[in-house]
Amino acid sequence: MSLSEHPSEAGDLRLVLIGAPASGKGSQAKLLAKKPGVLHLSTGAVIRDHMRRNTALGEKCRETMNEARLVSDEIVMEVVASELGNHHGGYVLDGFPRTIKQAEMLEDWLDQRGSELSAVISLEVPKEDLEQRVLSRVVCLDCGHPFRLGGRVNSVNEACPECGGQLGQRADDTLEMFHQRYGEFEELTVPLIDYYRRQGLLQTVDGRQLPDEIFTKIENLLDLQPTRP
């Protein structure tokens, strides 16, 4: 719990969320993005959107995405630069960086703009829990909001509670794909946790709690004023 008297401004937030597939990064990023001036940037969601629209970038990533492998550091940095390039205000990076090389590229890019990250949060969830979450996860094909079967929705045939759109399962939410993605997380992304710890930026949060409880913890860690309902 922060002891400072004056909460930080959400618009100054320059946050990286690190976590394994289905650790809840997306849900927490969406909650943070309800604060004024905070952009939620999910590189996975941006690339999936390019694929849906059949853009050149989407086509470049399609094969790699379909095999649940990581797209190249250069492509993903291009995505981040184009999304953040004209944004003035706070942001939450969800799913980027995922490798040390990407973290270094981001650092250089921010440095050229006289900026730097303000915090990194690692959401920690045991692998067995993640497997269960992946198998019960559905997403809105229109707004991208994730849901758990048995939570706010009971079937993919229901309309999205957020926007009324169509629900579906992510193509990479199968057990086989999960193991592939988790392997990549362990090999390439876990080293980032130490990288940011050495920089004094890292905070860890137990991701097994309920989303609202995790969110309150994050608000406290970042010294942010609570979001009003």
- Interacting residue ranges for ligand AMP, rule: CB under 6 A: 21, 42-44, 47, 64-65, 68-71, 76, 95-98, 102, 172, 181
Are the beta carbons of 204 and 121 closer than 8 angstroms?
yes
> What is the rounded CA–CA span in Å between residue 68 and residue 59?
15
| 48 is a catalytic site residue | no
Question: Ramachandran region of residue 164, left (φ > 0), alpha (ψ -120 to 50) or beta?
Answer: left
Question: 94 — phi, psi (to 5°)?
Answer: -115, 105
In angstroms, give the least distance from the CB of 55 to ligand AMP.
15
Residue nearest to ligand AMP (CB): 44
**Comparison of 33 and 224: residue with beta carbon closer to ligand AMP:** 33
| 148 is a catalytic site residue | no
| 170 is a catalytic site residue | yes
In angstroms, give the least distance from the CB of 9 to ligand AMP.
27
**Comparison of 94 and 224: residue with beta carbon closer to ligand AMP:** 94
**DSSP of 82-149, one letter per residue?**
HHHTT--SEEEEES---SHHHHHHHHHHHHHTT----EEEEEE--HHHHHHHHHTEEEETTT--EEEB
| 25 is a catalytic site residue | yes
> What is the rounded CA–CA span in Å between residue 218 and residue 174?
29
The one catalytic residue in 14, 48, 98, 133 is 98
The one catalytic residue in 30, 48, 181, 217 is 181
In angstroms, give the least distance from the CB of 208 to ligand AMP.
19
The one catalytic residue in 25, 35, 48, 133 is 25
| 98 is a catalytic site residue | yes
In angstroms, give the least distance from the CB of 106 to ligand AMP.
10
**Comparison of 47 and 222: residue with beta carbon closer to ligand AMP:** 47
Residues 78, 80, 81, 83: what is their CA dihedral angle, to the nearest 10 degrees?
Answer: 120
Are the beta carbons of 141 and 32 closer than 8 angstroms?
no
| 113-127 burial code (b ≥16 CB/10 A, e <16) | eeeebebbbbbebee
In angstroms, give the least distance from the CB of 172 to ligand AMP.
6
The one catalytic residue in 14, 30, 170, 217 is 170
Catalytic residues: 25, 98, 137, 170, 181
